[in-house]
Amino acid sequence: MLTRNPLRRTVLGAAATVSGIVLLLALKPHSAPAPALAHATAPTSPPTSSAGAPSTGAPSKGGTAPAKRTGTVTGSTVQTDYGPVQVQATFANGRITGVTALQTPSDNPRDQEIASYAVPQLTREAIAAQSAHIDAVSGASYTSAGYIQSLQSALDRAGG
């Protein structure tokens, strides 16, 4: 009986260890990693401005829409690991009223699928936030980063 217990303990210990490792590897984070987007979205000054003068540089620092801008502005094309991302922002009376994705990664069906669920979420967030200070979509971190950078570029161009 003593010779069976050490083997049994070893087998049960190994099974428990393997099960624990599998559970840890299957664990998915609840949010996208922020450091990958920090350089594109970190404000260097408060986003509020007084007098509404578009020449203050607020869009490039705070990411807010200019005070009286109406029309559309195309952001720069951002190259990601999966393809280019480019957006066009529409303004009415200084507010973002729409964002259209002109280019998204589309080399294969998986890229198209990711863009089809990420872009509408990013657009809703951008309109709600009235800036490029939005969260990345989980599972679409490269597309999100490209979208945010291109949107910030459009906001910067709208202010100048």
CA separation for the pair 101, 137 (Å, rounded): 15
* CATH (residue range 60-159): 3.90.1010.20
DSSP annotation string for 143-157: HHHHHHHHHHHHHHH
CA separation for the pair 111, 116 (Å, rounded): 9
Averaged over successive runs of 10 residues, the pLDDT of the chain (160 residues) comes to 69 88 71 41 35 37 56 94 94 92 93 93 94 93 95 87
Tokens of 52: 């509404």
Q: What is the pLDDT of residue 97?
A: 93
Q: What is the pLDDT of residue 103?
A: 94
Residue type, 27: L
Domain locations in the chain as residue ranges: 60-159
Is the Cβ–Cβ distance between 132 and 41 less than 8 Å? yes
Q: What is the pLDDT of residue 51?
A: 34
DSSP 3-state percent helix, strand, coil across the chain (nearest 5) = 45, 20, 35
Task: Kindly give the residue spans of alpha helices, DSSP state H, lying in 27-108.
Answer: 38-41, 58-62
Cα radius of gyration (the chain)? 23
Q: What is the pLDDT of residue 65?
A: 46
User: Could you tell me the pTM of the whole model?
Assistant: 0.59
Tokens of 60: 């490039």
Q: What is the pLDDT of residue 123?
A: 95
Residue type, 15: A
